[in-house]
Structure 1
Amino acid sequence: MIDRRIEAKLKDALRRSASVALMGPRQIGKTTIALSVSESKPSIYLDLENRLDLEKVKDFRTFHEANRESLIILDEVQKLPELFMELRGIIDQERRKDNRYGMFLFLGSASMDLLQQSGESLAGRISYIELYPIDILEYAGDDVEKMNVLWLRGGFPESLLTSSDSDSMEWRLDFIKTYLERDIPQFGPRIPAATLERFWTMLAHNQGSVLNAAHLARNLEVSGVTIGRYLDLMADLLLVRRLRPWTTNVGKRLVRSPKIYLRDSGITHALLNIGDYNSLLGHPVVGGSWEGFVIENIIGVAPSRTQSFYYRSPGGAEIDLILEFAGGEKWAIEIKRNSAPKLSRGFHTACEDVKPDRKFVVYAGRDTFSMGEGIMAISLFSLMEELLNK
């Protein structure tokens, strides 16, 4: 079992909030973490996919009254969105009794239902935490070989910790099939599984590309509006990241469509039938896959309220990732797969436009060294450690 860094953050949130929502895709490890947290205080756990457990909370006010001394943990809470209609009154009632913290822990596999139902009514009464896939700090450290295993298999625990690459691939293929046939139909309008699988696979082939909805629509023989709907669904299920363009006034015409990444590298590779590390290195998606893997690891350790962007101009000025921190500080990050990184003129031009406070090149080596003009070459591990301590 891998210790997850977020467990300490979750315990802290329960000490200062009446309720906490831990969000993340299925099988990412939410239940394991919640049960670990439950060992430190009186708790009751219910899985709302279990019919009996769901019946227990249909009258939630009565259920809470009978268990008010315990932390109530509700898994797959999007199954009961009407719960939040009751929750505000319960929390306010408990506050009047000076019971203010650590009452509820909700686990959800999709962002949309929970956020839409609770966004206004639970303002000031709930903290949101997102659980990312296992990252290199948690699994690999500065071990390059283990990092490559993580990149190939992805950060879902059961995929990463299998005994072989083939077993990992089988797990991921089953995961994809389950999402397509059972999970996704629960959240939106009925979409044929075959169509959605083609869409998901097309996104994998175009990992890290600027969204071209018209191109995707032509290939799927649907409208651009439908592509937007599919993409919204995948993003709400926390399977896809839309990296926004940095468009603050620089007096230039800029690319304004988001870049699209599948958030787990292992799922990307399964959709493309990439079963081992050598096959990955020889595949056309290798650059986009590495870029997405690095970006997801970096964003996963960035301080709260950090905003992430990319920058691109039609003239070729480009920055793979811009981090803008709460105080306004900006970091420009270029991502390279090789161990001897070289920068194009486009990165320098983009930095002149963006004016970042710090400039980095994340590359495949271990050393940290200057590349001139205030640019530091750094390993992914070292950059993540620096962000974690920021």
Structure 2
Amino acid sequence: MEFDSRFTYFCKNGIIMSTIQRDILDEAKLLLSQFRALCIIGPRQSGKTTLSRLLFKQKQYVSLENPSVQIAAEQDTQAFLQQFPNGAVLDEVQRVPHIFRYLQGILDDNKSRGQFILTGSNNFLLQEQISQSLAGRAGYLQLLPLSYLELSAAGLTKDNIYKHILAGGYPEIWDQDLIPDKWMSSYVQTYIQRDVRLLRNITNLGDFTRFIMLCATRAGQLINREEMARAIGVDTKTIQAWLGILESSYIIYLLQPWYNNMNKRIVKSPKLYFYDTGLLCHLLGIQSQAALSNHQYYGSIFENWIITEIKKNRFNQGINEGMYFYRDSTGNEVDLLMEKQGNYLPVEIKSSKKVNTSMFSGLRFWLKNNPGAHSLLIYGGEAPVSLSDQLQAISWKEIGEL
């Protein structure tokens, strides 16, 4: 077998396997050098286990999803942790929430860096426990599915944007060249049957499933909880709780509006996006490039892909904040504002393969009120376009540079 530097290799059941290198690796190593433990959070199947075992090649790996391991950890947590005097990878650690209190004592007694890696696919449970027990002791990383930049570095990118949107970024799909829609069908079933029950006692899984499908039709739109409640037949408090579940388990995220407290006319509702467009397409019943390119929601799906790719790039650099959108009550809008050191780059996103001057209207409005700023249009075509020093357009293929 020939080894390629673009891939990381590991042994599984005696067979040499490969996985695409992750851009977050350097940030993970940095945090391990600064903190006694590292928490890696993200969606199921995003590559947390593989990354953890790569970082801790010489330390023991323990999955708390194994029923016997989970029972042992629950029955005598102190004795369970004493098995790992040099630390370990504790995978899906939210399965035993009280383990964090015991870890606190261990990390207080031994202040050496990089002892444990804790992984989990539930953001809420882990954040709550970390804030109570591991504050100042643990670093925190969010690992999302593969980015276009990571796929490009591995030589796996396609010239066709539709292929990337349909495939999404889950590593197993790319590593094993699987059919995205088939894989997503199993993923959704596993999520509903296992993760949802862990998070909340939902009595009507049918209504919750319809809610997930409804969210897919609202991707890229302002959230209207009252309208969603009417469509499902539940109250707005239930909608709010269900949105929280989807956020906590990394199915969706909410892009918050940028607003100045002095301006009362600015819209203050967040917009809904999916962490993975392959999953989004599956929920919308889109299985082919032809269906995607002609779909009524294609513009919103393209926007979702662009914004999520930028989010992945920022997370991989350890930047978790600083992304907003702008919209006021008179219809002026900018799809994305990227903040860096107090400055904002306005970004407009258009799925069209050709640029026309009307696409820059939102950017012109922003520049009118923020003279001296620069702006960017990302579109579905190939070539860069420059209207002026402040108004630039780039192809979707350049998304890895943002």
TM-score scaled by structure 2? Answer: 0.88
Return closer, same or farther for 1:121/1:350 CA change in 2, 3 Å cut-off. same
Alignment pair present for 1:3 and 2:21: yes
- 1:220-369 superposed matches below 5 A: 220-249=232-261, 251=263, 253-302=265-314, 303=317, 304-325=319-340, 327-342=341-356, 343-353=359-369, 357-369=373-385
Cα distance in 2 for partners of 1:292, 1:139 equals: 18
Cα distance in 1 for partners of 2:159, 2:207 equals: 36
- 1:139-288 superposed matches below 5 A: 139-140=151-152, 143-145=157-159, 147-163=161-177, 167-249=179-261, 251=263, 253-288=265-300
Cα distance in 2 for partners of 1:161, 1:65 equals: 36
Cα distance in 2 for partners of 1:337, 1:378 equals: 12
Determine what percentage of the aligned residue pairs are the same residue: 29
Q: Provide, for residues 142-190 of structure 1, a one-character-per-residue CA deviation record: whole Å limited to 9, x for no partner.
A: 95526532211111122344546xx321110111111112221111122
Where does structure 1 lack aligned partners over 5 or more consecutive residues? none
State whether residues 306 and 323 of structure 1, in contact with CA within 8 Å, keep that contact through their aligned partners in structure 2.
no
State whether residues 111 and 237 of structure 1, in contact with CA within 8 Å, keep that contact through their aligned partners in structure 2.
yes
Within the candidate set 63, 83, 107, 2:99 is matched to 83
State whether residues 367 and 373 of structure 2, in contact with CA within 8 Å, keep that contact through their aligned partners in structure 1.
no
Cα distance in 2 for partners of 1:356, 1:330 equals: 11
Helix, strand or coil for the counterpart of 2:62?
strand
Amino acid aligned to 1:159: I
Return closer, same or farther for 1:226/1:154 CA change in 2, 3 Å cut-off. same
Amino acid aligned to 1:203: C
Q: Provide, for residues 270-292 of structure 1, a one-character-per-residue CA deviation record: whole Å limited to 9, x for no partner.
A: 11110011110111111111101
State whether residues 346 and 363 of structure 2, in contact with CA within 8 Å, keep that contact through their aligned partners in structure 1.
no
Partner of 2:395: 379
Alignment pair present for 1:28 and 2:52: no
Cα distance in 2 for partners of 1:198, 1:116 equals: 28
Cα distance in 2 for partners of 1:356, 1:243 equals: 26
Helix, strand or coil for the counterpart of 2:134?
coil
Instruction: Report the aligned-residue RMSD.
Output: 2.0
Partner of 2:123: 111
Cα distance in 1 for partners of 2:62, 2:71 equals: 10
Q: Provide, for residues 201-259 of structure 1, a one-character-per-residue CA deviation record: whole Å limited to 9, x for no partner.
A: 11111210100111111110111111111101100111111000111246350111000
Partner of 1:12: 30
State whether residues 158 and 168 of structure 1, in contact with CA within 8 Å, keep that contact through their aligned partners in structure 2.
no
Amino acid aligned to 1:218: R
TM-score scaled by structure 1? Answer: 0.90
Alignment pair present for 1:43 and 2:59: yes
Cα distance in 2 for partners of 1:195, 1:30 equals: 30
- 1:87-98 superposed matches below 5 A: 87-95=103-111
Mean CA deviation greater in 263-272 or 2-11: 2-11
Amino acid aligned to 2:41: M
Cα distance in 1 for partners of 2:270, 2:152 equals: 30
Within the candidate set 65, 78, 86, 2:82 is matched to 65
Q: Post-superposition shift, 1:6?
A: 1.7
Amino acid aligned to 1:90: I
Q: What number of residue pairs does the alignment pair up?
A: 376
Cα distance in 1 for partners of 2:302, 2:26 equals: 29
Helix, strand or coil for the counterpart of 2:159?
helix
